[in-house]
Structure 1
Amino acid sequence: MKSILITGANRGLGLGLVKQLAKDVKSPKYIIGTCRNIEKAKDLQEVRTQHSNVHILELDIRNTDSFPHFTEEVKNILCVDGLNVLFNNAGCASKSTRINLVKTEQFTEVFQTNLIGPVMLTKALLPLLKKAASNSPKQYCIEGGAIINMSSILGSITLNDIGGMYPYRCSKAALNMATKTLSIDLKSDGILVTSIHPGWVKTDLGGQGAPMQVNDSISQIIDLMKNLNESHNGGFYQYDGKKLEW
């Protein structure tokens, strides 16, 4: 893997991905982390000062009008290389849990961040992903072209046994559908598309009551990434490689 772009890299799982990939013995030539405000992303800036292959770009995943300019910025970093991996990590959740509390604007915000943004960013970066896939002797893996969507087990229809969390659950179920559809549409290009559930992790989104630390989740996600192949295309997997039901 020569290059990876990780959205929402200023904190939590995204920051953990950048940190561990930067220290990896086979660290990518280009690690591009995005955040909404570079000045406020102090931890991400610190990683950049320690690792010359780490680059930071500003991106608000909700502002789809900015994607053409953002794509040009990515091109300038990669030079003649394509983009091996797009990791759609940025996301948000609504605090509402039950039907009597849910509001229209919560659906709008969560769907814009968790579904519309990732799909439209994928569309914008698709030429770079296709370029990487066409130039690689291997396909359906991170050494070629791959799109990884950070989903959640809460988006599984089959495994939903407690209800609630309408905006978040529905947005992740929709993202899983996008994963499956993209895997079909991009199969002829040799691009792998998969959804990953990171586990219940101690982050701003997961809360301090979560049983997993960021590093524990990310180390296993990276191991899974390195072993992705055609059998994972269009699938939904847990951080440890376990296949999940839709």
Structure 2
Amino acid sequence: MLCPRSVLITGANRGIGLELVRQFLQLETPPKHVFATCRSPGKAEDLHTLAKSNGAVSVLKLDVSDPDSFQGVREEVEALLQGSGLNLLINNAGIISRDDLSAVTIQKMESLFRTNTIGPLFLAKEFLPLIQKAAKASTGLPMSCTKSAIINMTSKVGSMDDNRSGGRYPYRISKAALNMVTKNLSVDLKSDDILSVSLHPGYVKTDMGGPNALITSEQSVQGMINVMAGLDEEKNGLMLDYAGKIIPW
């Protein structure tokens, strides 16, 4: 059963992030705190509508490409938690590029690395004390997303084993690097009983995935919610898709 007391979701203004907020609020035991973050809260009308209808939602400004701002966001979250820890961090925000070898540039590589890889790593580092606090509050319970976990939203195109078509240099490489972040965290934080897993949401009909994608945000998130509910120590450090299938690195 998935029932974290608190969850922070990046990129929560639209698509998968917004649907994650919706479905966490629909859990049998919903979180007391859902920290829904995005780069431009003033433009996040759907997110604000959710927040107005549910007091558990706090809409916070967070640009994952700007690690210098993370401390301020962590302080906001810490104040709202009132002494409790953060059970679940979902690094969902990301950007895509389909540049092939002829089009890829240093600037594009740097941009995607900053958002897709560096941002999630340093956000996990910034919030680690709060995640550790949540884990310590549940001493004796097994590893789970209810207790304490970091979920990094990856992509199957970041799998070297699955790469049959090449191209997409910035996106593929930044997601492959994010998978290494996940694996490292799973090793380094195991002694704290903190899970770290990469989730592939599938090919989803969002602004990023486009209208020809295979599944809706609702289908993707429902699958990932079910996967998160079943995560345990045996799945720590893995890359899984929204149906729970292991994706080789």
Q: For 1:3-152, what aligned pairs fall within 5 Å after superposition?
A: 3-96=6-99, 98-136=100-138, 137-152=140-155
- Report Cα offsets for 1:66-108 as digits up to 9, x if no partner: 1111110010111111000000000001142x20111111101
Q: Does 1:203 align with 2:206?
A: yes
Percent identity between matched residues is: 47
Please say if residues 98 and 169 of structure 2, whose CA atoms lie closer than 8 Å, have aligned partners that are also in contact: no
Q: Which segment is superposed worse, 132-141 or 102-111?
A: 132-141
Runs (5+) with no aligned partner, structure 1: none
Distance 2:14 2:87 in 1: 22
Query: Offset of 1:138 from its aligned partner?
Result: 1.8
Q: Which residue of 2 aligns with 1:2?
A: 5
Distance 1:58 1:139 in 2: 33
Say how many residue pairs are matched: 245
Distance 1:140 1:40 in 2: 37
Which of 183, 186, 197 pairs up with 1:183?
Answer: 186
Q: Write out the 4+ residue segments of structure 1 that deviate beyond 6 Å after TM superposition.
A: none
Runs (5+) with no aligned partner, structure 2: none
CA RMSD of aligned residues (A): 0.8
Distance 1:127 1:7 in 2: 18
Report the TM-score, using the length of structure 2 for normalisation: 0.97
Please say if residues 139 and 145 of structure 1, whose CA atoms lie closer than 8 Å, have aligned partners that are also in contact: no
Amino acid at match of 1:154: V
Q: Which residue of 1 aligns with 2:241?
A: 238
- Report Cα offsets for 1:139-181 as digits up to 9, x if no partner: 4201211000000000000000011000000000000001001
Please say if residues 84 and 143 of structure 1, whose CA atoms lie closer than 8 Å, have aligned partners that are also in contact: yes
Please say if residues 200 and 211 of structure 1, whose CA atoms lie closer than 8 Å, have aligned partners that are also in contact: yes
